[in-house]
């Protein structure tokens, strides 16, 4: 196919032709304008292709020994999240008479830990290289924490809570974590897929499909502390794993590395283990 074009129009024409070919179902190897490309990636040196494929399909699991070792790293001060007024609030606004009830900061770390451990391959080894966590960043009006993979956010919790209705009768004000995943996981043609409408592990009224530089992604809101339960659903886990893997294949986290909080990452590993292993830890 040959056509005349001005030099200034070449990028836009390339973008349109790539989108046209992808819509027809062709797998393309070029990297530019082609999120999820099939060509070679720098990540292939760190994780073999076959292992990447198993991971994306949900057929592989993470090494709990690696998570435990990372959780045992020396404490490096206190995070801004844990010192913040929002982070010190009781989780789901349900205070207990003692200190057994988790705080919002605990819940945020549990969400971070669930996604890091379950959705990012070789997470401990590749920390701060392919993924980072930001501690109480001022991004977009202020967030409690953000998990970035490559150059895009995968999970974030805003400082401002949401006013919601629980069980269609009780007004509640709670923090929610926003989780990104591969486009088409829960939304098709701008509509929530039918099978999610009655049994979704997320708040269906807050589903969105924002456009990033890489293209559209599915975004869901989950009460903070419950992201791990959402990842128990195989379709959600595959959607988040596919998204994270494609982000890692697209590049490392160079632009976010300077803001990475090793202590927040350690706390995320720690809270993930507590949720898994401590029966008395109610989250």
Is the pLDDT score of 262 beyond 70? yes
Is the pLDDT score of 103 beyond 70? yes
In a domain, 140, yes or no: yes
Order of strands across the sheet that contains 143-149? 131-135, 143-149, 152-158, 176-182, 215-223, 211-212
Q: What's the average model confidence in pLDDT over 106-112?
A: 97
Residues recorded for the chain: 283
In a domain, 83, yes or no: yes
In a domain, 11, yes or no: no
At residue 56, the pLDDT reads 84
The domain in which residue 266 lies consists of 48-277
At residue 192, the pLDDT reads 95
E strands, 80-161, in order: 131-135, 143-149, 152-158
3-state class of 46 per DSSP? coil
Q: pLDDT per residue over 120-172, tens digit each?
A: 999 999 999 999 999 999 987 899 999 999 989 999 999 999 998 776 777 88
In a domain, 160, yes or no: yes
Tokens 């930001």 -> residue: 134
Integer Cα distance of 167 and 173 in angstroms: 13
In a domain, 8, yes or no: no
Number of compact structural domains in the chain: 1
Model's pTM, two decimal places? Answer: 0.85
Is the pLDDT score of 5 beyond 60? yes
Token couple for 262 = 């090793």
The H or E element containing residue 182 is strand 176-182
| DSSP at 278 | -
List Cβ<8 Å contacts ≥24 apart for 140-148. Answer: 144/81, 144/84, 144/86, 144/87, 144/104, 144/105, 144/108, 144/175, 145/81, 145/108, 145/109, 145/112, 145/264, 147/112, 147/115, 147/116, 148/253, 148/256
Residues 6+ apart with CB under 8 A from 67: 113, 117, 123, 124, 269, 272, 273
At residue 70, the pLDDT reads 97
| DSSP at 139 | G
Q: pLDDT per residue over 172-201, tens digit each?
A: 889 999 999 999 999 998 899 999 998 899
Is the pLDDT score of 15 beyond 70? no
How many percent of the chain have pLDDT more than 70?
Answer: 88
CA distances from 205 to 159, 197, 226 (A): 20, 9, 17
* Closest alpha carbon to 88 in 111, 107, 74: 107
Mean pLDDT of the chain: 88
Q: What's the average model confidence in pLDDT over 45-55?
A: 88
At residue 31, the pLDDT reads 55
Token couple for 211 = 């456009």
In a domain, 100, yes or no: yes
In a domain, 28, yes or no: no
In a domain, 34, yes or no: no
- Stretch among 15-24, 132-141, 148-157, 232-241 having the lowest mean pLDDT: 15-24
């Amino acid at each position: 196919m040959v056509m005349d074009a001005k030099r200034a129009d070449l990028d836009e024409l390339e973008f349109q032709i790539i989108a046209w070919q992808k819509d027809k179902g062709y797998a393309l190897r070029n990297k530019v304008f082609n999120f999820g490309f099939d060509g070679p990636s720098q990540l292939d040196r760190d994780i073999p292709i076959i292992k990447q494929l198993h991971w994306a399909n949900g057929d592989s699991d993470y090494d709990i020994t690696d998570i435990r070792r990372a959780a045992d790293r020396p404490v490096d001060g206190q995070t801004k999240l844990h010192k913040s007024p929002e982070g010190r609030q009781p989780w789901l606004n349900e205070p207990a008479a003692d200190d057994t009830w988790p705080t919002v900061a605990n819940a945020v770390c549990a969400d971070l830990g669930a996604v890091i451990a379950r959705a990012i391959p070789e997470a401990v080894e590749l920390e701060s290289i392919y993924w980072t966590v930001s501690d109480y960043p001022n991004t977009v009006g202020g967030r409690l924490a953000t998990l970035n993979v490559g150059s895009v956010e995968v999970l974030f919790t805003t400082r401002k809570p949401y006013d919601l209705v629980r069980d269609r009768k009780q007004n509640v004000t709670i923090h929610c974590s926003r989780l990104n995943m591969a486009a088409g996981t829960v939304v098709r043609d701008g509509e929530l897929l039918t099978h999610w409408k009655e049994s979704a592990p997320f708040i269906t009224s807050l589903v969105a499909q924002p456009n990033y530089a890489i293209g559209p992604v599915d975004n869901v809101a989950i009460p903070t502390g419950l992201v791990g339960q959402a990842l128990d659903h195989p379709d959600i886990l595959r959607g988040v794993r596919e998204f994270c893997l494609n982000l890692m294949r697209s590049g490392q986290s160079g632009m976010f590395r300077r803001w990475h909080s090793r202590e927040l990452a350690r706390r995320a590993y720690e809270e993930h283990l507590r949720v898994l292993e401590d029966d008395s830890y109610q989250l």
